[in-house]
C-alpha cells in the first residue's frame, strides 16, 4: 500500500507543474467565457426598446413624457426612444423597436379635463405574445388615472354645491394636482413590494448561476491534467505485480483519487476568495459541506472515468467533450433562459449540474438535492467501470 502511494505521489508530482499551467489557462478561458455568457443573458433580459411618438409635442407634453420615462422602475423595463411616427414604424418593421406607442394630439387636455381619449400601442410580431400583458398594464394605468381624476371632479362638484369661493376652488385644484403627481411618482416605492426573482427558476441570480456552472465545469476538467497518474501503471504486467504484493483494487485506486482531490482544494479556495469580492458568498457550515461534496463528486468522477478510459486513444478529449456537452445542457454556453425547459432539466442531472447544485448554497440558493443524488449515482457507475477495468485487465492478452 505504501509503495503504491509513493509511486502515485511521484507521478502526481511530475505532472504538477504542467497541470498548474494548464489549469491556469483553463481558469482564464473559463472566466472569459462565463463573463461572455453572463453578458449575453443580461442582454436577453434588457429593457424593451419602444419607439414613442408624441404627436402633441408641446412643452407640457414633453415634460410629462420625460417625467414618466425617467422613473427608475419604468426605465428598468422600457427603453423609450422619442421619434417621429414614420421612423417609429420603420424601426418596428426593421426590428429596432419591439413596440411603438403613439400619443395623439390633445391627449394632455383629455387627461386634464377627464374627456375620452385614446392612444395606440403597436407591438412587433416578436412581442405579440406579450399583448395581453401590455394591455393589462395600460388598463391598470388608465384606472389609476381615472380614479385620481374622478376624485378631483367629485371635489369640484362639492365646492360648487356649497357655493365656495373661486379662490378656494383654485387652491383645491392646486393641492389635488400636487397630491396626484406625488402619488403617481411614489406609488412604486409606497405601493409595490419589490422582490428579486431567481434567474430562470434556478434559485440564484444570473451571475451566481453562471459562476456556479463554470466552477463545476472547471472542477471536472482540471483533474484531467495528470494523465500519467491514471495510465502509467494501468497495465497488465504492473497490475499482476501489484496484486501479487497484496495490493487490492481499492488500494491501487486510492492515490489516484486522493491526490487530484487535494489538488482541487487550494484552487477552489482561491476561486472563492476572488468571487467573494463580487458575490455575497455564504460560508456557513452547511454550505461549505455541500460545496465539499461537490468537489469530491467532481474529483471522483474524473478520476474513476480516467482510469476506466485511460487505455483508449483520445480519452482526455472524450471526457472534455462530455464535460462541454454537460455545460451546454446546464445553460453555461447558451444562456439558460434561451434553452427549452426540458434541456435545462436534463442538464441538472449531468455531472456539471450535480456540482452546480452542490455549490448553490454558497451563492445563497437552496441545494439541488436531486441533482446531487444524480451526481453520486454517476460517481458510483464510474467507480464500477474503473474497478471492473482494473480487475479484468490482468486476465486479458499481453500489454500492447
Supply 258's cell numbers.
Answer: 486522493
**Percent of the chain predicted with pLDDT > 90:** 20
Tell me what pLDDT residue 110 has. Answer: 60
- The whole-angstrom separation of Cα 358 and Cα 295 is 9
Q: Rg (Cα) of the chain, in Å, rounded?
A: 32
Q: Is pLDDT above 70 for 192?
A: no
Tell me what pLDDT residue 373 has. Answer: 96
Can you say how many angstroms the Cα of residue 70 is from the centroid of all Cα atoms in its chain? 28
- CB-based contact 287:361 (threshold 8 Å): yes
pTM here? 0.65
- CB-based contact 217:352 (threshold 8 Å): yes
CB contact set of 6 (below 8 Å; sequence gap of 6+): none
> pLDDT higher for 99 or 342?
342
> At 247, phi and psi to the nearest 5?
-80, 125
Q: Is pLDDT above 70 for 368?
A: yes
Tell me what pLDDT residue 161 has. Answer: 83
Helix, strand, or coil here: 366? coil
Neighbours of 260 (CB within 10 A): 24
Q: Is pLDDT above 70 for 146?
A: no
- The region of weakest confidence among 115-119, 387-391, 393-397 is 115-119
The pLDDT confidence band at residue 102, using thresholds 50, 70 and 90, is: confident
- The region of weakest confidence among 118-122, 241-245, 347-351, 361-365 is 118-122
Tell me what pLDDT residue 199 has. Answer: 66
Neighbours of 185 (CB within 10 A): 13
Tell me what pLDDT residue 385 has. Answer: 93
258-282 mean pLDDT: 90
232-258 mean pLDDT: 82
The pLDDT confidence band at residue 103, using thresholds 50, 70 and 90, is: confident
> pLDDT higher for 104 or 367?
367
Q: Is pLDDT above 50 for 113?
A: yes
**Percent of the chain predicted with pLDDT > 70:** 73
Tell me what pLDDT residue 400 has. Answer: 46
Tell me what pLDDT residue 300 has. Answer: 95
> pLDDT higher for 316 or 146?
316
**Pick from 205, 192, 223: nearest CA to 38:** 205
Q: Is pLDDT above 60 for 194?
A: no
If you average pLDDT over every residue of the chain, what do you get? Answer: 79
- The whole-angstrom separation of Cα 190 and Cα 143 is 18
Helix, strand, or coil here: 101? strand
The highest-confidence range among 95-99, 179-183, 260-264, by mean pLDDT, is: 260-264
Can you say how many angstroms the Cα of residue 251 is from the centroid of all Cα atoms in its chain? 41
196-202 mean pLDDT: 65
What stretch of H or E contains 100?
strand 99-103
Tell me what pLDDT residue 258 has. Answer: 92
Handedness of CA 22, 24, 29, 30 (dihedral sign): positive
Helix, strand, or coil here: 314? coil
CB contact set of 139 (below 8 Å; sequence gap of 6+): none
- The whole-angstrom separation of Cα 178 and Cα 298 is 62
163-182 mean pLDDT: 75
Amino acid at each position: 500500500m505504501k509503495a503504491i502511494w509513493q509511486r502515485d505521489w511521484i507521478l502526481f508530482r511530475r505532472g504538477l507543474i504542467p497541470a498548474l499551467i494548464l489549469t491556469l489557462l483553463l481558469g482564464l478561458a473559463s472566466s472569459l467565457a462565463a463573463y461572455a455568457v453572463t453578458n449575453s443573458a443580461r442582454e436577453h433580459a434588457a429593457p424593451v426598446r419602444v419607439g414613442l411618438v408624441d404627436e402633441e409635442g408641446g412643452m407640457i407634453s414633453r415634460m410629462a413624457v420625460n417625467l414618466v420615462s425617467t422613473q427608475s422602475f419604468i426605465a428598468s423595463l422600457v427603453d423609450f426612444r422619442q421619434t417621429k411616427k414614420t421612423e417609429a414604424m420603420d424601426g418596428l418593421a426593421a426590428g429596432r423597436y419591439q413596440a411603438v406607442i403613439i400619443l395623439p394630439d390633445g391627449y394632455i387636455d383629455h387627461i386634464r379635463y377627464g374627456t375620452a381619449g385614446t392612444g395606440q400601442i403597436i407591438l412587433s410580431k416578436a412581442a405579440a405574445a406579450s399583448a395581453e400583458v401590455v394591455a393589462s398594464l395600460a388598463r391598470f394605468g388608465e384606472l389609476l388615472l381615472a380614479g385620481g381624476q374622478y376624485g378631483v371632479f367629485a371635489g369640484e362638484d362639492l365646492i360648487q354645491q356649497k357655493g365656495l369661493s373661486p379662490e378656494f376652488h383654485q387652491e383645491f385644484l392646486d393641492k389635488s394636482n400636487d397630491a396626484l403627481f406625488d402619488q403617481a411618482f411614489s406609488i412604486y416605492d409606497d405601493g409595490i413590494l419589490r422582490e428579486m426573482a431567481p434567474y430562470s427558476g434556478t434559485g440564484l441570480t444570473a451571475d451566481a448561476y453562471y459562476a456556479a456552472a463554470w466552477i463545476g465545469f472547471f472542477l471536472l476538467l482540471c483533474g484531467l491534467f495528470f494523465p500519467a497518474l491514471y495510465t502509467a501503471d494501468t497495465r497488465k504486467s504492473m497490475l499482476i505485480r501489484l496484486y501479487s504484493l497484496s495490493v487490492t483494487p481499492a488500494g491501487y485506486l486510492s492515490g489516484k483519487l486522493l491526490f487530484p482531490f487535494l489538488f482541487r482544494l487550494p484552487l477552489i479556495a482561491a476561486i472563492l476568495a476572488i468571487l467573494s469580492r463580487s458575490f455575497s458568498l455564504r460560508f456557513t457550515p452547511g454550505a461549505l459541506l455541500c460545496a465539499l461534496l461537490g468537489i469530491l463528486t467532481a474529483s471522483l468522477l474524473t478520476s474513476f472515468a480516467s482510469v476506466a478510459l485511460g487505455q483508449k486513444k483520445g480519452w482526455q478529449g472524450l471526457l472534455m467533450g462530455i464535460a462541454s456537452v454537460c455545460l451546454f445542457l446546464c445553460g453555461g454556453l447558451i444562456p439558460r433562459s434561451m434553452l427549452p425547459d426540458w434541456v435545462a432539466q436534463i442538464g441538472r442531472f449531468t455531472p456539471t449540474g450535480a456540482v452546480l447544485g452542490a455549490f448553490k448554497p454558497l451563492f445563497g440558493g437552496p441545494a439541488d438535492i436531486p441533482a446531487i443524488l444524480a451526481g453520486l449515482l454517476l460517481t458510483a457507475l464510474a467507480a464500477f467501470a474503473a474497478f471492473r477495468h482494473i480487475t479484468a485487465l490482468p486476465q486479458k492478452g499481453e500489454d500492447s
